[in-house]
Amino acid sequence: MTGNSYYFRKIHSLLGVIPVGFFLIEHLLTNYEAVKGHAAFVDQINWLNGLPLVLFMEIFGIWLPLLYHAVYGLYVAYQARNNVSNYGYFRNRMFFLQRVTGVITFLFVAWHFFETRLQVAFGNVEHSELGMTMHDIATNPVLFTIYVIGIVSAVFHFSNGMWSFLVSWGITVGPRAQRISTYIWMGVFVVMAVMFIMSLVSFTGTEFEQLPAAAQAGH
């Protein structure tokens, strides 16, 4: 990897935004439908899975890019060395947190994928029953805590990664632009984290214990 590290890093950086970043935002908006109720969440899930070539898009538009980003990211985290002389103290801490949250996010996404999407693929859970699966997870205090940690890590990794992406691709040049970018992406981090946690709390509601009436009729 050493000889081509520049290109590997550029691909890793780009995939962190397109399509992995888009997937995180889509996942946020889908799960946020739970705030509106179980029926709204099921409708959103059914709409997504009714898209043409959805399996092709999942494999080549999400999972393979995510796998490359995760595996190469772990390699970068292993190779990384913090250097306070090259980075300001705040940015050095953010650099360190980016690596830590990358590892946490990798483990969390793998586990979440096994608990949800893979169970659907195995035929153990229907798409319309994912709200009930999330209810079982969210009502377990230990799993709820793990999910909060995983969610916050994933959102931080994305938000801080976007700051780094804009710098490395020459979009935010100079201290002032980078300082403004820091404020913007810190705000994005807070908003996304709150929305994700609100979604998770919504799954604890008793209405997620069973399918909504409309879904039961068509089940």
Q: Which tokens belong to 146?
A: 């793990």
User: On the CB side of 65, how many CA atoms lie within 13 Å of its CA?
Assistant: 20
Q: Tell me if 99 is assigned to some domain.
A: yes
pLDDT value, residue 86: 55
Phi/psi for 38 (5° steps) reads -65, -40
Q: For residue 202, give the CATH number of its domain.
A: 1.20.1300.10
pLDDT value, residue 53: 87
Phi/psi for 12 (5° steps) reads -60, -45
Q: Tell me if 217 is assigned to some domain.
A: no
- Binding positions are 27, 69, 112, 157
pTM score of the predicted model: 0.88
As a whole number of angstroms, the longest Cα–Cα distance in the chain is 64
pLDDT averaged per 10 residues, the chain (length 219): 70 87 94 96 93 89 90 79 59 88 93 94 93 97 97 96 93 93 97 98 96 66
pLDDT value, residue 157: 95
User: On the CB side of 88, how many CA atoms lie within 13 Å of its CA?
Assistant: 5
Q: Tell me if 88 is assigned to some domain.
A: yes
Q: Which tokens belong to 201?
A: 């709390």
Contact call for residues 135 and 209 (beta carbons, < 8 A)? yes
Q: Tell me if 34 is assigned to some domain.
A: yes
Q: Tell me if 187 is assigned to some domain.
A: yes
- Binding positions for heme are 27, 69, 112, 157
Instruction: Show the domain range for 131.
Output: 5-211
Q: Tell me if 218 is assigned to some domain.
A: no
- What total of structural domains would you count in the chain? 1
